[in-house]
Amino acid sequence: MPFAISAGFLMHTYQGADDTGSAECYPSPERLYRALVSVAYGVFGFHSDYGQRESGITDAQLESVFHWLESNPPDWIRLPMHMRDNRRSSVIVYRNRGSYSRKKVKSANAMSSVAYGDTEEDSLLWQWEQEPDHETADLLARMCWEIPYLGEACTPVRVTAAVIDAGSFPIDEEHSLQISDDDLSFGGMSSMLEFPMPWEGHLQELQKGHASVYPRKPSAIRGNGGEEEKQALPNTLISCVRHIGYIRPTANDEYESLHPWTQGFFIPARVIADKGSTRSVSDRYEEWEPKESTLVAWAVAMHRMLIREWGYGASPMLTGKYGNIDAVERPANNVAIQILTSDMPVSPELNLELPGFLLMIPRDMPVEEIGMLANVCDRMQGRKLFYSRHSQTLELGFADTTVDLDRLWQPVEQGHTRLWVPYPLCMRETRNIPDPTGTRKWGARESIALAVAHIWRDYLNQSVDDGEYENPDREMQYWRQSDWCLDESSPVGIHDAHTVIRTHMSDYVHKTQPGNLLVGLSALLSFDTQCGLDRTALAIGQSRHLGGGLLVPMDVPKQLLDDTGKPKWIR
């Protein structure tokens, strides 16, 4: 039968540090192991004749518990909700520590703790597919009940262990992490969380460390005591500790990869009125109505501010720079920054303060990086933003980090079919590619198909057999991706693809490949209803990560479509 250990924080806070002294969000299995060792000595008389007579538990029984923990890392781990949700009381935030120190300088780690929510979903779960023997499981449950806290003493905890029903294993699979199988791909590594685990010999390592700090013969007290009397185990007792990676299991839904961005952050913005105006204090702000030609510039300005605020070590999914990683191994999509205006059909149930900036988080972005980006967005409140000396100045509002991008747009109206239009336009990603056979020409339709294929690269790699294309070059690969999207069995329909010309095409792109002519595109797109994309946020084209190519829904009465789903007004 499966076995689980649950940790519920009584004050809904956790404060602790990892082996490097940095604050950690969650207690690790190795920290649980240390707490159990402390309980064995303090409560059950481990290696004490008097304590064993009182508890009736032998050293061999206690050692069997530690041996089982050293040999069996958890198969699943469910972490408490790690993102702040400003619409419910279940939250995790960093807050000031409730203690006083005479020291003038206090580190950032000592000043903060992590606050959890107060629901069942906010408990920490370590789960094993196979329970230990009955005697070990019973003793482990008794030891867990005696744990007073995990981390520092200011964070009391209730830890319980019990056998669970096989049909309920794993508990809350959707929000749990599974032990990885040495997945060394970039996608697997980027979505992996590592946790320190006790390994064989860790008990003896802790015992030797304790003996070195607390010798049997007490040393003489110097002076009047004080700080010199306080001793603690060093953080170097990690020779018998291994780090094991855990990943979120992939869903069985074959269309999951068609959702490149699943989570979103929204930062509202408003224009600061000119200082020379005669407006009152209450009217010093104006509604932001950005022009189409400025969307990329505003997105670039926001992008640069986010990177500056993050500082050293910013996620490559935000910066777009992956070092020496091969282009094929890089993720198909980065963090995309789009602008939502007040006249867009955004779902009212999200309660967004339009207009503002929408940050679209890639589905394979590591969990810890998402949390760090959320903290960066929280610090943006009240900041001023502009992209040039002559542009308007925006004031950023309180960030909403709970936007479900699969529910961004309003539901489809009854009796209508949803089509999509890239706003303001879709920038072509490459030049015209010559056909190796010389029978076809590359046009606007092929460019739109390639733009869609690029955001669906993960799905495309799983769906297309490359047997007929052995070691294809880049041009052959572009034709293959375009042909797949244009095929009748493809989940996307492309109608009325054509080029779009603006006076200053450079306003609609930030960077481009040398020698690539700037060409704008537009089309009507439709998606198969089985894909579940009728309300999902998507962006295509060369500027999809910075203010361009956002697919905005356009509902059309079904009477205006023919039997194939093609608009009747298009010939």
Q: How far is CA 504 from the centre of its chain?
A: 36
Torsion of CA 323, 328, 329, 335, to 10 degrees: 70
As a whole number of angstroms, the distance between CA 144 and CA 158 comes to 8
User: Is 229 inside any structural domain?
Assistant: no
Q: Which amino acid is at 419?
A: L
Check residue 23 and give its pLDDT. 73
**β-bridge partners, 495:** 524
Residues 281 and 335 in one domain: yes
User: Is 439 inside any structural domain?
Assistant: yes
Residues 402 and 434 in one domain: no
Residues 213 and 109 in one domain: yes
**β-bridge partners, 557:** 416
Residues 187 and 168 in one domain: yes
CB 6 within 8 A of CB 119: no
User: Is 565 inside any structural domain?
Assistant: no
Check residue 126 and give its pLDDT. 95
Residues 400 and 446 in one domain: no
Q: Give per-residue burial for 384-395: e unless 16+ CB within 10 Å, then b.
A: ebebeeeebebb
Residues 374 and 483 in one domain: no
Residues 211 and 358 in one domain: no
For 545, other C-beta atoms within 10 Å of its C-beta total 23
User: Is 66 inside any structural domain?
Assistant: yes
Residues 77 and 181 in one domain: yes
Is the whole model's pTM more than 0.85, yes or no? no
Helix (H, G, I), strand (E, B) or coil at 337: strand
Check residue 93 and give its pLDDT. 47
Task: Name residue, tokens 């929204």.
Answer: 266
Residues 6+ apart with CB under 8 A from 60: none
Check residue 39 and give its pLDDT. 92
CB 454 within 8 A of CB 429: yes
**What is the tally of helices (H) and strands (E) in the chain?**
12, 22
State both tokens at 130: 């196979």
Q: Which amino acid is at 401?
A: T
CB 413 within 8 A of CB 555: yes
User: Is 571 inside any structural domain?
Assistant: no
* Total number of domains in the chain: 3
Report the phi/psi class of residue 76: left, alpha or beta, with left for phi > 0 and alpha for psi in -120 to 50. Answer: beta
Q: Which amino acid is at 306?
A: L
Domain end among 407, 435, 453: 407
As a whole number of angstroms, the distance between CA 240 and CA 199 comes to 5
pLDDT string in tens for the chain (571-residue length): 899 999 998 888 788 887 777 777 789 999 999 999 999 998 888 887 666 667 788 999 999 999 999 999 999 999 876 444 333 333 444 444 444 455 544 444 444 566 666 666 678 999 999 999 999 999 999 999 999 998 888 889 999 999 999 888 999 887 788 998 654 444 445 557 888 999 999 998 888 877 776 676 555 555 544 444 445 555 566 678 998 988 877 655 667 889 999 899 999 999 998 765 555 555 789 999 999 999 999 999 999 999 999 998 899 999 998 877 777 778 899 999 999 999 999 999 999 999 999 999 998 888 778 888 998 999 999 999 999 988 999 999 999 988 999 999 999 999 999 999 999 999 999 888 888 788 889 999 999 999 999 999 988 876 665 544 455 688 888 999 999 999 988 999 999 999 999 999 999 999 887 777 899 999 999 999 889 999 999 999 999 999 999 999 999 999 999 888 889 988 7
User: Is 170 inside any structural domain?
Assistant: yes
| Segments forming the whole domain that contains residue 311 | 258-407
**β-bridge partners, 548:** none
Domain end among 407, 440, 474: 407
- Alpha-carbon distances, residue 549 vs 213, 423, 445 (angstroms): 62, 5, 15
Between CA 476 and CA 181, with CA 261 as vertex, the angle to 5 degrees is: 80
- Contacts by 128-134, CB closer than 8 A, 24 or more apart: 128/2, 128/3, 128/4, 128/72, 128/74, 128/75, 129/2, 129/75, 129/76, 129/169, 130/1, 130/2, 130/3, 130/72, 131/1, 131/2, 131/3, 131/163, 132/3, 132/65, 132/68, 132/72
Between CA 186 and CA 196, with CA 190 as vertex, the angle to 5 degrees is: 120
Q: Are strands 76-78 and 192-198 parallel, antiparallel or unpaired?
A: unpaired
Sign, CA torsion 448/452/454/457 = negative
CB 448 within 8 A of CB 494: yes
Task: Name residue, tokens 């040999």.
Answer: 71
CB 213 within 8 A of CB 231: yes
Residues 49 and 104 in one domain: yes
Q: Give per-residue burial for 320-350: e unless 16+ CB within 10 Å, then b.
A: eeeeeeeeeebbbbbbbbbbbbeebebeeeb
Task: Name residue, tokens 């508990």.
Answer: 171
The helix or strand, by DSSP H or E, that contains position 361, with its residue range, turns out to be strand 356-362
- Alpha-carbon distances, residue 278 vs 274, 282, 283, 288 (angstroms): 9, 11, 9, 19
User: Is 252 inside any structural domain?
Assistant: no
State both tokens at 422: 């890239």
**β-bridge partners, 420:** 525, 553
Helix (H, G, I), strand (E, B) or coil at 406: helix
Residues 158 and 24 in one domain: yes
Check residue 403 and give its pLDDT. 93
Domain end among 384, 407, 430: 407
Task: Name residue, tokens 């110097």.
Answer: 222
User: Is 129 inside any structural domain?
Assistant: yes
User: Which residue in 398, 383, 306, 302 sits closest to 352, CA to CA?
Assistant: 398
Helix (H, G, I), strand (E, B) or coil at 551: strand
Residues 487 and 523 in one domain: yes
Residues 242 and 318 in one domain: no
